Structure 1
Amino acid sequence: MNAATFVRSWPSVSAWGAGLILAALGAGAIVGPSSGAASRGLGAGLVVLGVGALVWGGAVLALGRLIAPRATLIGALAGILLAAALMFVLPAHTSVIAIAAAALLLIVVGAAVAGRVRRADTAPRTAEPMSVWGLLLAASIIAVVVTPALGATQDAVLIRDDGSVPVITHEGH
């Protein structure tokens, strides 16, 4: 196993984590109790970017190479900007933790793709197998980042005006 196969799984897994967080932020902005037209519009954009990140991460992992690098850079930047804009439009019901985690993960994706664009590596390469250890390590770190961010996103959407979060019971299920 060389360093390239160890690191290559990180952008795809980071895209999955960012995609989950962006989709959660977007869904919360769409259905939140105090959502207006601006937050719903931003939410729809975040959901689209989140789903796109999930698809991109799967394609990168399946193909073994970074795809659509310029579009990916635009998508990563758009994700960071839309999430930041949501913080200003709907501050009481948007999680700072989720936005920070999504931005961190999108920066990882953007840095990997920017390196690819900078190299202008247009020659087709043979797809080498991904490193299982790199993938497991990346997935573990992403889980540690994404899980709390998703929980914080739910709490931010459900928070009441008095600052309390309702307890949801699942009796009878």
Structure 2
Amino acid sequence: MNAATFVRSWPSVSAWGAGLILAALGAGAIVGPSSGAASRGLGAGLVVLGVAALVWGGAALALGRLVAPRATLVGVLAGLLTSSALMFVLPTHTSIIAIAAAALLLIVVGAAVAVHVRRHGRDDTDTTPRTAQPMSVLGLLLAASIIAVVVTPALGATQDAVLIRDDGTVPVITHEGH
């Protein structure tokens, strides 16, 4: 694997991480104990954006190029705005850690796509054929490590924020009998 292939894989990995966090934030906003119509609407939008990010990341990695770059920029902006709006609508049950992690990963995707759009001008498509080159084991380990360090704590913080009680405590969930 060459350096260009390794760099091209980062937007995909970042999109997967952001997609997981956005979907978790959205699910928490939909089913949370104090969710209203506004938070449920934002939650549904975040779930859709999260699933779209997961699909986009897979397509970009499989094709070896950035897919639908201008639509992706719109999706990145929508993800940033919708997750930020959720902080204002449901502040006590939304994790700032998850919002920050999702924003960081979305900015990585947005920056990569913006550079691509800037280089290719008004042409949205990059039809340059590329030979599929699998990621190296080192690349996969590094990507998995980054996701583990950024996404896993954000997902845990999302659950804690949804479950937090009015007194500021988080209930302990046991899995007895499993």
**Which bracket does the TM-score occupy, shorter chain normalised?**
over 0.9
User: What are the residue-to-residue correspondences of 1:10-89 with 2, within 5 Å?
Assistant: 10-89=10-89
Equivalent residue for 1:129, pick from 126, 133, 138 = 133
Asked if the contact 2:15/2:57 (under 8 Å) is kept, the reply is yes
Asked if the contact 2:65/2:126 (under 8 Å) is kept, the reply is no
Asked if the contact 1:7/1:134 (under 8 Å) is kept, the reply is no
Deviations 1:80-99 (A, max 9, x none): 10000000000000000000
Alpha-carbon distance in 2 for matches of 1:15, 1:159: 28
Asked if the contact 1:63/1:127 (under 8 Å) is kept, the reply is no
2:115 counterpart of 1:115: yes
Identical-pair percentage: 84
Stretch of structure 1 that moved more, 33-42 or 119-128 = 119-128
Q: Which runs of 5+ in 2 are unaligned?
A: none
SS of equivalent residue, structure 1 residue 50: helix
Question: Post-superposition shift, 1:124?
Answer: 2.0
Alpha-carbon distance in 2 for matches of 1:19, 1:123: 26
Q: Which runs of 5+ in 1 are unaligned?
A: none
Question: Post-superposition shift, 1:5?
Answer: 1.3
2:146 counterpart of 1:141: yes
Paired residues, what number? 173
Match of 1:155 in 2: 160
Matching residue's letter, 1:139: A
Asked if the contact 1:17/1:142 (under 8 Å) is kept, the reply is yes
Alpha-carbon RMSD: 1.2
Asked if the contact 1:8/1:130 (under 8 Å) is kept, the reply is no
**TM-score normalised over the length of structure 1:** 0.96
SS of equivalent residue, structure 2 residue 59: helix
Matching residue's letter, 1:29: A
Asked if the contact 2:15/2:56 (under 8 Å) is kept, the reply is yes
Deviations 1:55-100 (A, max 9, x none): 0011111111110000001001100100000000000000000000
Aligned CA distance change for structure 1 residues 46 and 103 (closer, same or farther; 3 Å): same
Match of 1:164 in 2: 169
